[in-house]
Structure 1
């Protein structure tokens, strides 16, 4: 649930920032929905299974790969694609907040 809410939150924030509903679901922009989704997943798994669990380690690796792809790899392929570091940081923080709220609500 946290990953789903992380994705939706990031997309709705994009609509508010850009004042255009057509940006919903598009790649790029502030905040990174990819990073928000995987951040929410990793934090929620950590909060529910413990930060020393194998599942948390797997989720954290998935977050690291997704973030590296969103920020670094895509920019190397096409300078107009991908996210800036700040967009990824905001996505990470949004995912953390969403995970906190989701875990608190569903416990």
Structure 2
């Protein structure tokens, strides 16, 4: 029997890290996803990588995105409506033009 080649070490590293963070062993992840223990073991060792459905099931079980698990990419953080409103308010208040003083053509009066 020939030795298997580790083809997906980065994927395996992310998977094992997320399993530890979620306090899941291979058996528990297998139970949560319906993927066989043997396949989970192969994923954890970097010998194989799941296809799209398996990747989706594993990422959901681990509370992460498929993109992060597969490629190491974190999803873009999307601002909330209240974040955007606060940002607009800040921009409006900081860009409010002050009334120029006709006696101070360079606008330096009162800033000292």
TM-score computed with the length of structure 1 as normaliser: 0.27
The structure where helix makes up a greater share of residues is: 1
TM-score computed with the length of structure 2 as normaliser: 0.26
Higher relative contact order (CA 8 A, sep 6+): 1
